[in-house]
Amino acid sequence: MKTLITKQFRFEAAHSLPHHDGKCKKLHGHSYLLEVTISGDIQTFGSKEGMVMDFGDLSRMIEEHIISKWDHQYLNDVVPFVTTAENLAGECFRILTNVGLSVEKIKLWETSKVYVEVVRG
């Protein structure tokens, strides 16, 4: 049986899309909502019995590897790629997979009406 857990995180950041032909070409900001879904076996013993992962441990990892680096930043100065929601979500997926999380899905909300999903597979 595959078990998934999801936690949400918020961060504020600015960016611009220099080659875009619309208003996103100009400097602007977003209140991003990041949803991280991981999978794993439910642990059967120890202090994490009954859990895939302690939500506090997941929070610490996301804070260390993403939020602390992107929150209140101008993303164009932080990452080496075009700062579209698609690219940012893909980078979250790569970063978290590389630090050992079994990431199933990243959902990154750029506004309350627009989001991107990157899924395993």
Q: Which helix (H) or strand (E) holds 28?
A: strand 28-40
73, β-bridge pairs: 13
Residue 49, classified by CB atoms within 10 Å of its CB into exposed (0-12), middle (13-18) or buried (19+), is exposed
Supply the residues annotated as catalytic. Answer: 24, 72, 110
DSSP assignment of 79-120 equals: SSS---HHHHHHHHHHHHHHTT--EEEEEEESSSS-EEEEE-
